[in-house]
Each structure stands twice: as structure tokens, then as C-alpha cells.
Amino acid sequence: MKSQFGIFLKKLTAFLLIVFVVDFSLGKVLEHFYEEIDIPTPEQHTTFSIEHADTDIMVFGSSRAQHHYDPESFDDLPNTSFYNTGKDGQGILYSWAVLKSVLHRKKDSGILILDLNINEFDKSQDSYDRLSELLPHYTEHEEIQDIVNLKSPFEEIKAISYLYRYNSKVLTIIKDNLFPKKDNMEKGYEPIPVVRRNLQLTVFEDAEAIDSLEVAAFVGFLKDAKAADQKVYVFVSPSYRQYLEEPQTIRIARDICRELNVPFISFHQDSLFLRNANYFDDPTHLNEAGAEIYSDKVLNIIKKEKILNSSS
């Protein structure tokens, strides 16, 4: 009986060793080719945001951040560098993780712009599932692990696997290495070409189920930024929708910003943009022309506040 149990343990040990070797080897191969992606792609954009981005002005947020903040507008500030870490499909959890990685290496004070989605705090599992985008950086960046672990109750255990960290990236890694195709991206900003869409202005009714963890992430983002001596602004960029009442996210975020003394500026019902459908590609995304006008407005607000602060 003892000999049979001993044989079983040996076989189990050998099996687990093979699994570990295969997982480690294939994972390292995927890691190597993931890091080889050096053209503007969504993966390279995430890697640069997590590993290298450190500029005077930095933008954080979702696709609305990535498509709405044109670096050419911010070039109007002399001797000021700019990078947009905004990411399609992501939200405040991703933004907070990226901020933590930036602050981990950032030494100088700067300006941080957080673009808040109009329904940012609406509860959705997608907000957590999309954190898989950060898994390739999980081991090397301890500062983001607590946020990525929110993805699932067993995320910390699953992330031990090298293959797991890249299992959603295999086809992308192959494509970007064998058939590289650059995205139209400058300093993280990705303009949406102007195409006439014949959009109709519709009334949108707020029906959010507030996610307390995302609200906490928003507070954490602001407190971390302020503790690191960064000047942080929260903007809600324009949309081509009319709202029956102010969305809960905006009310909650405004109250938090007031309490923390953070400038909060919302363009979600700005009359200039509501009168001009040609500034939009869809109801929630500005096209390149709209983004240029909006970015100029954001810059003017920042410049005015800097003048007021310097004279007070």
C-alpha cells in the first residue's frame, strides 16, 4: 500500500513539474514577443503607459480620454511634455493602476487630467474583466496587484501562471510580430477621422447601479495624485446626448472633488457641442475636429487657473 502511494506521489510530482516547465517556458516565450512589440498598438500603448510614461501633463481615462485630448493643443504650453494614457474599453480601475505605476517612478510634480465617463460608476463586470490588460505587468509591478486582483476572487492564484497572464493576448502577439500594423497614435492620442454620421440628439435617462469599489478607486486616484504633489483635474468631456437629470456619477464625483479640493469641470451638457453633431463620431466620442476644439478649451481652463493661482 505504501509503495503504491509512493509511486502516486512520484507521478504527481513529475506531472506538476512538467506543467510548471511548460507553463514557464511558453509564458516566457509569449512575454518575450509581447515586449518585442515596438510599434504604436494598443498593447505597446499599455506597456509604455505602465513602464515609461512620465511627462509634465498626463491624461488618464477610457476611450473618451484617448480620443478627446489632442497633444497639439497642449503644445501651446512651452517646454511642457505630454502623454495620453487613456485606453479603449477601460475605466477608473485601469486608470488608478496606471497612475500607481507612474507615481512609482515619477519624481517631479505635474498636471494630471482624469477624464471621467458620464456613467463611470455604473456597476458592470466588464470593468473588472478588462483588467486582464494589465496581467502582463502583474509580476513586475507590485503597486498594481491589489487592483488587478479585483478581477476575480482567485486572481492572485491564477496570476501565478505565466501562460494565464498572456492567454488573451496570444493572437495579438502573433499578429503584431508577424504582420505589424501601426495605429494612428501620437503621444497616446488616437484621433477619430471626421466622417459625417447624421447623428440625432436623443434624450438619455440615467439608470446607474453605483459600484462602491469604483467610487473608492476614484477617491484613491485623487488622493494618490495629491499625496504625490501632482496637480489633478477631473474633466467630463462632451457627449451628444441630453439628460433628463444629472447622472449619479457626476453628482458623486463633483461632491468628492469639492471635498478634496480638486477642480471638477463637466462638458457633458455643453451647448456648443450639443449644437454641433459634426463634432462627433458617435454620441459619446468626439471626432478629430471636435477633439481639437475641446482640447483647446481644456488648455484654456488650465492656463487660467495657473494665472489665478500665481497671482493670489
Torsion of CA 152, 23, 162, 30, to 10 degrees: -130
Q: Which domains does the chain have, with CATH numbers?
A: 39-127+144-153+178-311 (3.40.50.1110)
Q: What nine digits make up the cell of 41?
A: 498598438
Predicted local distance difference test score (pLDDT) of residue 311: 43
Query: For the chain, how many residues are written?
Result: 312
Predicted local distance difference test score (pLDDT) of residue 75: 87
**E strand or H helix at 20, and its extent?**
helix 2-35
Average confidence (pLDDT) per 10 residues, the chain, 312 residues? 67 67 68 73 90 95 97 88 95 97 90 96 94 91 94 90 82 76 86 92 86 97 97 97 93 98 96 96 97 97 72 42
Please, which residues have CB within 8 angstroms of residue 153's CB and are 6 or more apart in sequence? Answer: none
Predicted local distance difference test score (pLDDT) of residue 24: 66
112-144 b/e with 16+ CB inside 10 Å = b? bbbbbbbbbbbeeeebbebbbbbbbbbeebeeb
Predicted local distance difference test score (pLDDT) of residue 312: 41
